[in-house]
Copies of this chain bind each other. A is one copy, B any other.
């Protein structure tokens, strides 16, 4: 599969895929002409990368953790890092939940005020 197709299937830009390769998050073989060629598994991989990015991990962290995420094998240091990141995500969820609750209350207030006004 070439880069354009992978981009369309995964929903990320061609530029992003090249960036992932630059950051060693994603590999590709090359055609004799020098164009990138991806196996089908690349799609999953890209989606995993996107998930981790969406979770706020940096590409540096992702590149460190990808091996054990895909193979299930990790050094103690990698395990520590995994736990750190999971906890960071959990904390972030707490933050977001608080903010959401706050906004929710504001919405209730505003709605109530508007209804009262009608």
List the B side residues contacting A55 at CB < 8 Å: 95-96, 99-100, 103
How far is A78 from B79 in the complex, measured between Cα atoms in Å? 45
Tell me if A's interface is mostly helix, strand, loop or mixed. helix
Interface pair A107/B82, CB less than 8 Å apart? yes
Copies of this chain in its oligomeric complex: 2
Flag A74-109 by CB within 8 Å of B: 1 or 0 each. 100011001101100110110111111011101101
A115 to chain B, nearest CB (A): 12
Q: How far is the CA of A110 from the CA of B78 in the complex (A)?
A: 10
Q: A44-63 vs B: 1/0 string, CB under 8 Å? A: 00001001101110000000
Q: How far is the CA of A69 from the CA of B105 in the complex (A)?
A: 9
Residue of B nearest to A52 (CB): B99
A110 touching B97 by the CB < 8 A rule?
no
B79 touches A103 (CB 8 A): no
What residues make up the interface of A, taking CB atoms closer than 8 Å to B? Answer: 48, 51-52, 54-56, 68-69, 72-74, 78-79, 82-83, 85-86, 89-90, 92-93, 95-100, 102-104, 106-107, 109-111, 113-114
